[in-house]
Structure 1
């Protein structure tokens, strides 16, 4: 390795390059996450990971970067804010109001634009290439929510944000409306100062959770989390949780909307995260009518595509059932009947449940 900069200078240079690539913040962490291992094991042993078997399969590798990628000496962490450029003032209240309109489909804010995996991965790779151009070839691997990585732990150790009670990273000047990414490197870089916690006695995120999935400070039971149920979970949604989902069809932002720190959330300068047509303000009936071909076309390059058309219909059927209970309108019943004989047993069962809510 042809190092032309000392390690501290390199970190400063990487931060400058990161800013040029639209990253909001760059941090550096060491690789000793052993203090996080007991909590991770307890969470896994309690089954809080639900169907996400890969989390248990990787076990403590999640807390051991040097085992996940042999040779790793440091982790470069990155934050990228994602609020769309046109996000209005008072956006938290506006988003809460959507939940009071039962027939409106609510998609989590992070998923209304381009797939963040692609945006961050490409830019992290470019950042890695700039480092290599400066110091010569070095060992590295880029991650964006794509491997067993303790992202929030690394973020908090590298100065990017503390772990909020909702288990997401929080920053005093950016709230929690941001994505995280990492570059595991075989360079010994000086870690930046860890972030102190600033949640205090506030429990807004815990109190607002529709399904009471936040079972303790910094502890989320995925099996009750609407984000997990609508995205990661493949089978039937538990009956007792369906009424609590309301009109949320992909993800859930409630814990973030209630967080006081998110009044400081930042708009992204990138057009990638601007809202796509149909992802904000559309009706459940309208989205339920999408054929698989239309679903694939509308969600091209979107994180929503990964759940597939079957889960899309399953989620919307639950929303339609909840809307039907609130206001038994013929258009909702008619929409549900169009999928009553769907080839998927999961879709048929959720449609039947929804029709029974009238």
Structure 2
């Protein structure tokens, strides 16, 4: 049974509890109203811009609107957690012999951290005001960014991420859908104006137009979601980015306001701020799991991560990395061996690489193709 309340004291009590739990922003939206997000999603899927993320097509019907996923949803409680860094993350791109890990993945997995806070807030709402509710944090077919925009947490910028007046482009989102009829806050307004810094910053040109993303060219997709080799023409553009990419977020002019909630930043692990590629190249599976325990990088697995590290080594121009890269030619994973071939083709002199290829004993078709392609490369 739907519970109705237009009393703003209800939302203020929920907001107060959210802040106590560590959320930086809490606003409310009508979960039933129509929106343009459905049409944008349909165009994205029809264009095939989701790449290997087939779940986006599979769940499109449920993803189109909050009530398509849960008919009982009446209101959305939208939460934000600031994760703005205390430094310029693009500085890591200058140290080519070290890896650049996206800011959000340098500490504990935010899904678990935010989910815990959301469950505590949901318990408070249910016990105090009643009504069924559901909790989400980037793990279900719910379009959270359009809901956050409707609630007034910010607006979707030209890079398709949420931009906040208070936190720039550095907000984790969480949401609670509820049967309660809660007063809506409404959009906050704001826009990107003529600024196109995020679009121009993208190394791979992943934005066909403002407010449109082609995931197949996005470095975050390539280093995290893509399971096989990265297309050869895009590998040089990865630079030393070994997990995710912060470029379009980091250049947003609104980030200057993110310092307002510095005390709420999620702690980064020192070992993950700018790890040496030489060290990462030596990781076996147990060492990988130990280094990335309770961290989002762990979910892509050691082989996919080593693929990224090897591409970074190939882009480094550091001949000293050739020795640890060579050791990966004997790796048990064809994905890793293929990436090692490409890296060595860029680290070794042509004659030395050719001699190495003559001695190579490789049975895997994909790795053999890497050797052949590298031999033909100018």
**TM-score between both structures, scaled by the size of structure 2:** 0.88
Please give the residue correspondences for 1:315-354 in structure 2 after superposition, counting only pairs within 5 Å.
Answer: 315-323=308-316, 326-327=317-318, 329=319, 331-354=320-343
Tell me, yes or no, if the aligned pair for 2:4 and 2:180 is still in contact at 8 Å. Answer: no
Tell me, yes or no, if the aligned pair for 1:37 and 1:60 is still in contact at 8 Å. Answer: no
Counterpart CA distance in 2 for 1:162 and 1:242 is: 32
* Alignment partner of 1:130 is 2:131: no
Tell me, yes or no, if the aligned pair for 1:2 and 1:135 is still in contact at 8 Å. Answer: no
Tell me, yes or no, if the aligned pair for 1:156 and 1:163 is still in contact at 8 Å. Answer: yes
Residue aligning to 1:22:
22
Structure 1: any 5+ residue segments left out of the alignment? none
Structure 1 residue 200, shift from structure 2 partner:
0.5
* Alignment partner of 1:47 is 2:48: yes
Tell me the SS of whatever aligns to 2:187.
Answer: coil
Counterpart CA distance in 2 for 1:35 and 1:3 is: 28
Tell me, yes or no, if the aligned pair for 2:133 and 2:178 is still in contact at 8 Å. Answer: yes
Residue aligning to 1:72:
73
Structure 2: any 5+ residue segments left out of the alignment? 348-378
Larger Rg over CA atoms: 2
Counterpart CA distance in 2 for 1:65 and 1:270 is: 29
Structure 1 residue 207, shift from structure 2 partner:
0.5
**TM-score between both structures, scaled by the size of structure 1:** 0.92
Tell me, yes or no, if the aligned pair for 1:113 and 1:276 is still in contact at 8 Å. Answer: yes
Residue aligning to 2:345:
356
Please give the residue correspondences for 1:267-286 in structure 2 after superposition, counting only pairs within 5 Å.
Answer: 267-270=261-264, 273-286=266-279
Tell me the SS of whatever aligns to 1:199.
Answer: coil
Tell me, yes or no, if the aligned pair for 1:34 and 1:63 is still in contact at 8 Å. Answer: no
Please give the residue correspondences for 1:230-309 in structure 2 after superposition, counting only pairs within 5 Å.
Answer: 230-266=223-259, 267-270=261-264, 273-309=266-302
Counterpart CA distance in 2 for 1:45 and 1:111 is: 30
Tell me, yes or no, if the aligned pair for 1:22 and 1:269 is still in contact at 8 Å. Answer: no
Structure with more relative contact order (C-alpha pairs < 8 Å, separation 6 or more):
1
Tell me, yes or no, if the aligned pair for 1:166 and 1:205 is still in contact at 8 Å. Answer: yes
Deviations 1:116-154 (A, max 9, x none): 000111101100111122123x21111101011111101
Structure 1 residue 6, shift from structure 2 partner:
4.9
Tell me the SS of whatever aligns to 1:193.
Answer: coil
Counterpart CA distance in 1 for 2:121 and 2:257 is: 27
Q: CA separation of 1:288/1:33 partners in 2, compared to 1, >3 Å: closer, same or farther?
A: farther
Q: CA separation of 1:41/1:2 partners in 2, compared to 1, >3 Å: closer, same or farther?
A: closer
Bigger mean CA offset, 32-41 vs 195-204 = 32-41
